[in-house]
Structure 1
Amino acid sequence: MHLSGEIVSSVSSVFERDPAKKKEAEDLIEYIERFNELFSRGQYESAAVYAANCPRGILRNEDTIEKFRAVGRIKGKILPLLMYCEALVSTCLSIKQPLPANLTAEAIKCALAEKRLDLVMHWITLNKLVLSEEAGDAIYKYAEVDKHNRSQCLALAQIAYTESGVHKKAVLCLCKQGQLFGALDYLHYYKRFATEDYIFLLKHCPSVELIRLLTQEWKGKPAMLPLGETLVSLIHTEHRPYCIRFLEDIAKEGRDVLEQMIIKDETCTVEAWKEIAEMCLHVRREKLSKLLISILAAQEGVVEIPIDDDEGARLMDHVFL
């Protein structure tokens, strides 16, 4: 890939209509040709610095990234692409302009591919990068590769997601770090989450405690999710054990506690609670299933309907008059 073709042609066409800027065009073309000369000689470090400092940023782009990427590895030397990425970030300080999101994501992915989390940490602390969801995803995935530095990766990914407005993934990073109270504060602060965003959190970081926090009041504020609907959305997935354990934990606090939670959940239909009770029975939690049935039976305006089990247990259904 030779940059003196399309770019030189582009530079010429831009300035040929303005004779006063002809000299500038000639200087830019000379600069590009000098870069190509350094590159062709294998002087990649010099070429990287030269390209990153190019006037008008004409060599600070994805085409140049691909040119360095194509070189591949050179035994015993730093990856040429990483040289260019480092030069890009370094020059942000001198030109006083943040690195665009697309180049930032490429630089971060390159550094992580070379196991240089230290570079990514340094770059982000400079506050000279335009972070994006793509950058956050790269760091988040790297947390599974570098388990020793998992917490640092999740913290960095959270920064990227927050700055790029991908708040549900930022909260997920907090949950993955075990900072559930911090996650709840974050959720209440932004107040922009749809039901599917909360379910996203539960499916990607399932825990009994997170179910409890999302379905109960928090610091005097109403629950973010209705209890029954939340359980129904998870009860038929691999996260079923968390639902069962959650209900069992509530039941241990007393029948009245579970009953009040069911009564206050005005959005969940009796059919949905029937579904939950049936699943409890299916996984051999007969005691829990019968408790749910008896709580529903005790409510005003309920008649019996059969539950689908071998013993012919009964579940109740509301009659809306």
Structure 2
Amino acid sequence: MRFLTFSHAGKESWGVITDEGIIDLGNLIGSSLLETLQNDKLDDMKKLANGLEVDYQPADVKFLPPITNPGKIACVGVNYANRNAEYKDGSDDPEYPSLFLRTPDSFTGHDKPLIRPPESHKLDYEGEIVIIIGKEGRRIKEEDAYDHIAGLTIMNEGTLRDWVRHAKFNVTQGKNFIESGAIGPWMTTADEFTAEQFENMRITTHVNGEIRQDDTTASMMFPFKYIISYFSKFFHLKPGDVIATGTPNGAGARFEPPRYLAPGDVVEINVEGVGTLVNGVKDEAL
């Protein structure tokens, strides 16, 4: 089932999206998708939604990130083996995953523009599969990791390439410009996938209809279950936490010359079994 967060007539709500339209659970029972996960009520909400008529069509609402105020947005860097090779620095595959954090306001929702700031015109796309945690845990074993996934969504992990090199030891600045990235359009629940699908799931990125990224999770150096287990050694993973699992090769910075995003561009990121996240690009209004 697909759960989403949205606004309608200026009011934030949440619910389920089906082929027929959107069921507004927020208007019916209040709460939020985050609180639903925190209270372990996702299965109850699936049963409730199965008996309800739709309230809106997708065109009637504005999509928001499925979890608008997560406790953590943890992002894995350079997780696809062929992307490590793309750096052309002769380095071996890493022993452990790279990690950086992003803030909620660095993201917008589906069908909204990514914002290019005046400080840089090197805005780049990164298509990523995102895990949303549904069950808390510390020191989670890899064999138990999938039990902690509430569902999957999609991220355009928009990055200002020159700003990730402003300091010696981090990339945080270039990863956190306001609304430079996007998450959505919804969370597809984990019961829609098998373990085999988690481990061989295709992701593609198109820019203005041209394919730029195309790979599967089989290429990951650190698969979902390893990431969850590793992160839970130092994080207390909690329901609603967001984990971005890395991007394949083909980002704009890797072309010669680089192919950064500009106003009017449209980026479409598709994840097999999840959906398609679509965003335009515009300059920040000053």
TM over 0.5: no
Larger relative contact order (Cα-Cα within 8 Å, sequence gap ≥ 6) = 2
Q: TM-score, normalised by structure 2?
A: 0.20
- Bigger-Rg structure (1/2): 1
**TM-score after normalising by structure 1:** 0.18
Higher share in strand = 2
